[in-house]
Every structure is written in C-alpha cells, then in structure tokens.
Structure 1
Amino acid sequence: MVAREPGTTPFQIDLRRHLRENEEDRDLTRVICEIATASRYVIHSIRTGELGVAGTSNLYGEEQLALDVLSDRILRKRLVHSGVVSSIASEESSEILSVNLTGKYAVVYDPLDGSSLVDVNLAVGTIVGIYRGEDILQRGRNLVAALYILYGPRCTLVYSTGNGVHEFAMNALMEYTLVQENIRMKPSGTIYSPGGQRNKYTPGVEKLVQALEAKGSKLRYSGGFVPDINQILIKGQGLFLYPHLQDKPEGKLRLLYELNPMAFLIEQAGGAASNGRERILDIDPKAIDHREPVFIGSKEDVAMAEKFVQEFG
C-alpha cells in the first residue's frame, strides 16, 4: 500500500483518497464513488421507505418489494450519471441496459440482496461487479473491481480492484472512511454458514457438514448473503455454502450478480470459491440468470468441500 505521512489515521482516509493513492483509473474511481453515493440514498430508503410489495416480478418470477425497485432505480441513475459506464445488468431487470457506447466499464449488481429480511430488521446489502468493456457475460476472473455494501448496525463498504481487500465505514457525514486495509483469510475456519434445507443435501454435502461439525465449527447463518460473507471475511475465517440440492442441482445463487463479485473479493483476501467441481471465477456465464452452487471461504474448507462433493456427489 501507499506510504502515508506519520500520524495519518485510517479515519482520515476516505474512499476517493484511498483509490487515488493507489493510482486507480480515474473512470473506475468515478464508478466506485458513484455507487458509494447511491448507497446513501439506499440506506435512507431502508430506514424510512415502504416495505410492501411493488406489484411486479423480477426475471426469476419472484415478487419484487418496493425497496428492491427503488434501490435498483437509485443505483441505475448514479451509474448512468457517471458517464463512463457502457452497459448495466441488474438482478431486478430482465434485460441488459446499454448506457453509453463510449463507456469503459460494464457493471452488474444486485441492488438489495436479502431485501425480504428488512421487515424483520436483519442486515441486507448491495453487491457489485465491474468489468472492462461492454460485455456483461464475462467470467468472474475478468472483473476489474468488486464491492459490497452492508446495511447493518453500521453501514460498511468492502472493495477490491485486484490489489487487496479494504473495508470502509460510513461516518456521521455519510462519507466512507477507511477501517482496515488488506484483509486476509486464514487457511481454515471455525464457523460455517449453510444455506438450503439440510434434508435435501446430497451425500457429499451432508458428509461435509458432518466433518465441519466434527472439527468444532459453529453454525452462523443469517439468511443474508452479504452479512454472512462479511462475517467470514472480516473474521478472516470460515465457510459459506449454498450447495446443489436434491431438487435443485443448479443451486440458488446467481453467478453474475452474487457469486462472481464475492468470489473475487474472497480470493483477493486469500480464500477460495468453488461450485464443488471448479473455481467460481472460471465458469462461463450462460445467461444473466445463470445459477451455481457455491462453497466459499477459507481455502482448506473449500478444498474439503470439493473433496466430499467429488467423492460422494
């Protein structure tokens, strides 16, 4: 990281300065900062907005909440406003939006992941992936940046541009200031977050869970992808899984909007992400609604998941 003047504290370093110090592309900096600005309006909407249904469905046939639609609109507006975005794909839309033929970056996002948890006051988040060019359907390994924003007791932003993973917190002025740089994962963890119904797990996944329990791992699952990944990343250890199920072999989570950005961040911190047979970031997306199983977190735990899945199915 950049050497700073003696006496400089993390809380004096805001997001824009951090990007500038690391000599990030000016247009990429603009995109990331526009997303950070959008999150101010999203968190305000979560705290004060309508929690009912919007009367519409997304491309998966799922009923949209008013907050989903509003969050999508806020993010889309800021990305268009940036002037440097070529195309946009949102989990809440069935179409790829062409924005600017001269734009440098394609952006994929889930505007409010876990929105159904808002009415019971659990943490939710925004997930974003950024590619160079205008092609949305790229492998995750081509990402130039990924980030998520967690709307919890604190509002935090975690990002990577391929040079480590860094955490920021929103202050009283609604500006993001640095909390920690270069977050690192331990090889093995002591917590696990298992999604899906356990009675529908395949034999390999059931053996994995038994092995995790046998080594003393504690179950920590909120039902929200962003807070569960944040827990593993900030604690520096653990495993999140939403596996293939007996009646859902393709898994639940979307490769484009959820898995690729999170896999990019976890790998940048020294972890791993797999569908049980191959690296998440190496999977070719077949469509914008492509889903995959996922095992993501500490490297040794992910390797153990792959071993059991490949041996027992």
Structure 2
Amino acid sequence: MSNLNLTQYLQQQSGHLTPELAQVIETIAATCNTIDQALQKGALAGILGSAENENVQGETQKKLDVISNDYLIDALKVHPHVGGLASEELDDFTPAQANGKYLVLFDPLDGSSNIDINMCVGTIFSILPAKNTVTQAADFMQAGTEQVAAGYVLYGPSTMLALTVGNGVAFFTFDPESQQFILTADQVKVSEETQEFAINASNQRHWEQPVKRYIDELLAGKTSVRAKDFNMRWVACMVGDIHRILCRGGIFLYPYDLKDPKKAGRLRLMYEANPMSMLIEQAGGASTTGRVRILDIQPTELHQRVPVIIGSKQEVELVTSYH
C-alpha cells in the first residue's frame, strides 16, 4: 500500500468529488483528531462521566458527548463550504454559510457508554449536497442515496478513518508521528458469506418473528438449516461493529422490536443508518430495515429512527426475505 495521506488520496479522487467537498472531509478528519486527543487524556483531563443532562433523544449525555459535539460544530459552522449542520446531540439544525455547498450530519461520539470503561468509541458523519440556503429542517430531508460522502473515525488501539466518496471504501490509519491519516487499505470489500453476527440478545423477547427465526437458526449452528456454526460479537458501539464487518464480514442487527412499539427502531436514520449503509453498500454489502433498503428511505424528520440490518449481502438478503 502506498503512503498516500488523506489529502493526496482526495486529490486522486478528483473525478468523484469537488475540491470543496475534499476540504470539508479534511476538516472533519482534523476535528476528529482533536476529539481523539481529548479521549487519550481521559480521566487526566476530568472529562469522563456524565454531563448530567439529556440530549434530544432522552439519553444521558457524557461529558465527551458534549465536548465532541462542540468541537465539530465550532469547526464546521465557519467552514466556507458548509451550508448547515445537524447533530444527533442537538434538537435543531445549525445554519452555517449561506453559500455553503454541503450539509454535514453527525453522531459526534457513537458508543459513548464505552467511554468510562476505556472501550472503543467513534464519530460517524454523512455529507449531503446543500440544494439551497439552509433555513429549515426540511432542507436536510434527502434520502441516503443523495449522500456525496460518508464515513466514521474509530478511536481504538489505533485511530482509523473509513471513508467513501462514492468510489468504494478506503481505510486510513492515523500516524501519531506525522499527525496525518495515511491510506492503509483501498477498495475494501465485505465478504458475501460470514459466520459472525452482532445483535443485542437481551431484547430477544421483544423481537418480531422473522428475526427470532433467523437468530434461532444461527444459534442452532450445524444442527440447523444453516449447517454451520456462528459466533456472536457485540461491541455496543456501532462504529466498532461496522468496522469489524468491513474487515472480516458479518451481519449487524438492531431490528424493530415491540419493546416500545411507537419507536420504528433504535438507530437514527440521518446520523447512523444512512452513512453506515453507504459505506457497507460501497464495499459490496447490503443494508435494509428488514423490509426496505435503508438508502431509499425519504426522511421526514431530523431525528427519525429506523431498524437496521446491515452487513454481508447473503445474510442481509436472507433475514430480509424472512420478513
């Protein structure tokens, strides 16, 4: 693998993105480096623990949720090419530059329940075209197929950026010496077959029958119609689970369940499901709600939730067929 840094890679992708979009992506990556530095200090900087308030989702925020959100807002709202921002942590959108060409949506710190136990967390981002000056939430209501770029940064043993600009998926690893993201894998592919699955099994009693049937078959292993054994993996951080699938295949399910029938799903369409679906599809995988392709969903609100079944194509198609 060549030692291309992120800037050089984006220059090589000039047929798939504008110079303005490249600059937005570089700003996101640089801000994630700042978030990473805060995470590295952890308890030393007094940034662990609860912020003692709730976000728009009704979830208790961690201090680093708030810090990460502020870093991204501050860096992007003054960016000349960003027309507006939306964060999973904030009730409303944030207007930016009147002539900005792009909208950025993000989950500033996915898996934040892992922060205080020093487990992996990540930042997820989605970039849409700004079709006019941003004045209302409706300006963000574009299907996932409209995304011009998507990615995540995984803060793990090494800090990694996964990125797509619509021309496959590339991995970059942050080099602490050069302070740059260096290309370490290009045209990443998700294997069509797998023997790994990720699901929160504590919700089993609330699942719909198609998901119960599918998981029962996996758990029965060689004795079932699947005729092979499966392993369950669950990181409690979507970035970590999706990164594993991009590296070695698998399927991740956060399906619709009857625990709270009023909620269509657990994960947010605009901040989590859409960007991850673009990445997985660009790597040859698939992503559905169990009933429809996620990227085809027309959003109706900024914080819309959807069920997510995502990963190796054969498995996603099988469980979707059970619905």
- TM-score normalised according to structure 1 size: 0.93
2:14 maps to 1:17: no
Q: Distance in 2 between matches of 1:81 and 1:177?
A: 26
Letter in 2 for 1:21: Q
Q: Distance in 2 between matches of 1:165 and 1:228?
A: 16
Aligned partner of 1:45 among 27, 38, 50 = 38
Aligned partner of 1:198 among 204, 217, 221 = 204
Aligned partner of 1:83 among 80, 83, 90 = 80
What stretches of structure 2 of length at least 5 have no aligned partner? 222-227
In 2, are the aligned partners of 1:242 and 1:252 still within 8 Å (CA)?
Answer: yes
Aligned partner of 1:130 among 127, 133, 139 = 127
Aligned partner of 1:168 among 163, 168, 172 = 172
Aligned partner of 2:309 among 284, 295, 309 = 295
In 2, are the aligned partners of 1:260 and 1:280 still within 8 Å (CA)?
Answer: yes
What stretches of structure 1 of length at least 5 have no aligned partner? 1-8
What's the CA shift string for 1:51-95, capped at 9, x where partnerless?
122232211121211100100011111112321100100001001
Match of 1:4 in 2: none
Match of 1:111 in 2: 108
Aligned partner of 1:280 among 294, 311, 315 = 294
State the shift of 1:197 in Å: 1.4
Letter in 1 for 2:166: G
Q: Distance in 1 between matches of 2:321 and 2:217?
A: 12
State the shift of 1:246 in Å: 1.8
2:217 maps to 1:211: yes
State the shift of 1:289 in Å: 1.2
State the shift of 1:247 in Å: 1.7
What's the CA shift string for 1:137-180, capped at 9, x where partnerless?
21101100001000000100000010010000000232100001
Letter in 2 for 1:277: R
% identity of equivalent residues: 36
Matched position secondary structure for 2:299: coil
Q: Distance in 1 between matches of 2:208 and 2:260?
A: 10
Matched position secondary structure for 1:170: strand
In 2, are the aligned partners of 1:107 and 1:136 still within 8 Å (CA)?
Answer: no
What's the CA shift string for 1:220-245, capped at 9, x where partnerless?
1111100000000111x110000111
Match of 1:140 in 2: 144
Match of 1:184 in 2: 189
Number of residue pairs the alignment of both structures matches: 299
Matched position secondary structure for 1:19: helix
Matched position secondary structure for 1:150: strand
Instruction: Say what the alpha-carbon RMSD is for the aligned residues.
Output: 1.2
Match of 1:248 in 2: 260
Q: Distance in 2 between matches of 1:188 and 1:77?
A: 42
Letter in 1 for 2:146: N
Aligned partner of 2:233 among 220, 240, 247 = 220
2:160 maps to 1:156: yes
Letter in 2 for 1:140: G
2:53 maps to 1:56: yes
Letter in 1 for 2:212: E
- TM-score normalised according to structure 2 size: 0.90
Taking the TM superposition and a 5 Å limit, the aligned residue runs for 1:227-238 are 227-235=240-248, 237-238=249-250
In 2, are the aligned partners of 1:14 and 1:175 still within 8 Å (CA)?
Answer: yes
Q: Distance in 2 between matches of 1:77 and 1:150?
A: 21
